[in-house]
Amino acid sequence: MKQLTDAFVLHNGVKLPCVGFGTWQTPDGETAVRAVKAAIEAGYRHIDGAAVYGNEKSVGEGIRSGMESAGVRREELFVTSKVWTTHRGYEKTLEAFEKSLHDFGLDYFDLYLIHWPANAGNCENWDEMNLESWRALTELYRAGKVRAIGVSNFLPHHLKSLMETGVKPMVDQIEFHPGYMQAETVAYCKENGIQVEAWSPMGSGAMFQNETVKQIAEKYGKTVAHVCVRWCLQHGVAPLPKSVTPSRIKDNTNVFDFVLSAEDMAVIDAMPLTGYSGNNPDTFNVF
């Protein structure tokens, strides 16, 4: 990966730009519009959103504004949304998709994900529920309304039944950062051709206070954010850094002029549990 437009290739041949721009916790309104516009102007071509973020209309406005100011065509962008836990199941998932598409003001999504799996803690027939949501995504994919489909926060046992359907998940977006690697899930995804994306690649800000990562950043003359993004890329994972500050949005892209050594990668990999959100896909129960 040498630039923002370089891409991971999903198992259906669709190209996913290697670094995405996250919009989680980005305030709705002008803040979101300006942030997304700045991201596109800075060279990002991968915008990650979700219904539950509550800012999809503003993110969509930011996309249109950024496309105009940067002279970017829609087909050059890769836009993601996700169905929330309140809309699990076949019919509700279809409804959620159409609402998000309308709120974004788009004709199609490049990627649509199930945001969290139904699990034994919140749904007696959790596996069947996940399959029903997946049936809706598969239908949308085959109808050409979305170029790729996948999941978010799914562990291997949540993925197993989906892998046996006619269309395998193409992406699993998980919490992945120094101090929380989810090695088992990443290994399962790689073995099965599922591209991993990393939400919260800086550990919700915890990495900025972590001495191990800070020392490695100083060694390379880079920032902590640079190290976290670069570390994800060298693991073959697509990071989704987030900021609302134009200068930081731009600076977070400066990750293609250095390579972390095998030794430094190993040091980061060996970090103890750090920055974990506490959100467990087997118990997550927000409706």
Question: Catalytic one among 44, 53, 112, 188?
Answer: 53
DSSP string of the chain? --STT-EEEPTTS-EEESS-EE-TTPPTTHHHHHHHHHHHHTT--EEE--GGGS-HHHHHHHHHHHHHHHT--GGG-EEEEEE-GGG-SHHHHHHHHHHHHHHHT-S-BSEEEESS---TTT-TTHHHHHHHHHHHHHHHHHTTSBS-EEEES--HHHHHHHHTSSS--SEEEEE-BTTB--HHHHHHHHHTTPEEEEESTTTTTGGGG-HHHHHHHHHHT--HHHHHHHHHHHTT-EE----S-HHHHHHTT--SS----HHHHHHHHTPPS-S-----TTT----
Catalytic (active site) residue 53: yes
Q: What are 278's two structure tokens?
A: 């506490």
Among positive and negative, which fits the CA dihedral 40, 35, 286, 120?
A: positive
Would you name the residues annotated as active-site residues?
A: 53
